[in-house]
Amino acid sequence: MIRREFLKKLLPAALGTLFFESRGIFARVLPNWWNSQASELMVYREGSSYGTPIPTWLRQNNLYVGAEQFARALDFHTYLNEAKRKLVIYLPENKIIVTADNPFVIIDNRSLQMPVACMWEQKNIYIPLVHLVGLVNRYSSLSLNYDETRRELRTGSAVEKTASGETQAGLMEIDQKKNGIVIRIGVNRKLEPSEMKLNTRYNWLHVDLHGANGNIAALNRTPVQGKIRELKALQLDRTLSLSFRLSQLPTSSKIYQDQYTREVVIILRYEAELAEADLPELDAPAEQPLQEAPPDAAIQKQLEKERKRWLIDTVVIDAGHGGKDPGAIGVGKLKEKDVVLAVALKLGALIEK
């Protein structure tokens, strides 16, 4: 009896100890899910030396911030739809829409995907800071600079220039299509149409970006492919000059700046894709276009014969049941095979007529 009373008193204490020890074990194994609030993030507006602190949270090694707190720190207006768990952030020139439990972000009319989803907690949407900053810098007119070591976020206009007042041109991508080539050059500000020049001479495509300062070493390392045989990047005073040696001149060319990414886009169009063996040599003189030889009589006769083989001049009408198979039998013992043959013959006569 005494032992039974002792066990009744001991059991709750033992279970409580087990619970707290288990929680401690899980806290050590999954540190990002227990006590996950990280240090604060200091947000600085453009031209201000006074920062606004906002709390941050770690989830699976991703730093999250409250979307509304993030917007307020930058003095941006927001609209929250709690029913749909959507938040709209109004930038000076763009609009961002984030959705809870969804990795997709909409910037203006463009749908973009992050590696991880936004989160919903206590009627607030939390955004993965690093991934959102990357999308904002690429697809909006806003420039955000995040210092992970100092936990600082600074904002500015995307049309910022270098200390020398020049535009920075970074990496370049060349994409070979079936009927042309697309070249993309990353720049850090909006260019005027007069600052982008394009012309072709002697199998060379020349592109000049006035007022731009490029990373010449990085640009010259861009892999070439297809009809682009060689690339030369030069810095001429305050003009970035790019020259592309082509195996064939395009039928048309165009240069413009993407309003979302600010990339300079060059499009080279060809009427039809040519096999590599059919492309003219670079230094070969221009040849007169070949006249298509008319087919001889034998070939023409064979083609006409093949064409006639595919002409349909016979209609086959299958009456269906016949012979030993009577088909369906009606109430008056009328057999199906006695009816369908007469129908088929009458239909054939109508077609012949």
> What's the pTM value of the predicted model, to 2 decimals?
0.40
Last residue of a domain, one of 157, 186, 206: 157
- Are residue 147 and residue 179 in the same domain, yes or no? no
- Is residue 51, in this structure, part of any structural domain at all? yes
- Are residue 149 and residue 238 in the same domain, yes or no? no
> What average pLDDT does the segment 325-347 reach?
82
- Is residue 309, in this structure, part of any structural domain at all? no
- Are residue 185 and residue 96 in the same domain, yes or no? no
- Are residue 131 and residue 217 in the same domain, yes or no? no
- Are residue 49 and residue 116 in the same domain, yes or no? yes
**244-269: pLDDT as tens digits:** 999 888 888 999 988 767 788 999 99
Last residue of a domain, one of 240, 272, 304: 272
- Are residue 101 and residue 179 in the same domain, yes or no? no
Mean pLDDT of the chain: 77
- Are residue 153 and residue 100 in the same domain, yes or no? yes
Q: What integer pLDDT is reported at residue 273 of this predicted model?
A: 54
DSSP annotation of 116 reads S
- Is residue 66, in this structure, part of any structural domain at all? yes
- Is residue 281, in this structure, part of any structural domain at all? no
- Are residue 226 and residue 261 in the same domain, yes or no? yes
Q: What integer pLDDT is reported at residue 238 of this predicted model?
A: 81
- Is residue 220, in this structure, part of any structural domain at all? yes
Q: Provide the Cα torsion 72, 74, 75, 78; round to 10°.
A: -50
If we measure between CA atoms, which residue out of 266, 108, 253, 114 comes closest to residue 187? 266
**49-80: pLDDT as tens digits:** 788 999 998 888 889 999 999 999 999 999 99
Q: What integer pLDDT is reported at residue 69 of this predicted model?
A: 93
Q: Which of the pair, 120 or 8, is modelled with greater confidence?
A: 120
Q: How much of the chain exceeds pLDDT 90, in percent?
A: 20
Q: Which of the pair, 7 or 217, is modelled with greater confidence?
A: 217
Q: What integer pLDDT is reported at residue 29 of this predicted model?
A: 42
> What average pLDDT does the segment 271-287 reach?
47
Residues 6 or more apart in contact with residue 241 via CB below 8 angstroms: 206, 207, 208, 233, 234, 235
Last residue of a domain, one of 157, 183, 200: 157
- Is residue 177, in this structure, part of any structural domain at all? yes
> What average pLDDT does the segment 32-53 reach?
72
- Is residue 208, in this structure, part of any structural domain at all? yes
**92-118: pLDDT as tens digits:** 888 999 999 999 999 988 888 888 999
- Are residue 140 and residue 192 in the same domain, yes or no? no
> What average pLDDT does the segment 189-214 reach?
87
Residue 218 has pLDDT above 90, yes or no: no
- Supply the CATH number for residue 248's domain: 2.60.40.3470
- Are residue 179 and residue 101 in the same domain, yes or no? no
> What average pLDDT does the segment 282-305 reach?
56
- Are residue 98 and residue 188 in the same domain, yes or no? no
Split into its structural domains, the chain has a count of 2
- Is residue 104, in this structure, part of any structural domain at all? yes
Two tokens, residue 290: 């070949």
Residue 31 has pLDDT above 50, yes or no: no
DSSP annotation of 203 reads T
Which range in 38-52, 175-189, 233-247 is most confidently predicted, on average pLDDT?
A: 233-247
> What average pLDDT does the segment 319-342 reach?
78
- Supply the CATH number for residue 145's domain: 3.30.457.10
**123-178: pLDDT as tens digits:** 899 999 988 988 888 787 788 888 888 888 888 644 343 434 456 666 678 888 87
Two tokens, residue 172: 């370049």
DSSP assignments along 54-115, one per residue: EEEEEETTEEEEEHHHHHHHTT-EEEEETTTTEEEEE-SS-EEEEEBT--EEEETTEEEE-S
Domain that holds residue 268: 167-272
Q: What integer pLDDT is reported at residue 170 of this predicted model?
A: 62
- Are residue 255 and residue 193 in the same domain, yes or no? yes
200 three-state secondary structure: strand
Q: Which of the pair, 67 or 38, is modelled with greater confidence?
A: 67
pLDDT band at 5 (very low <50, low <70, confident <90, very high): low
Q: What integer pLDDT is reported at residue 335 of this predicted model?
A: 82
Cα 263 to the chain's mean position, in Å?
A: 15
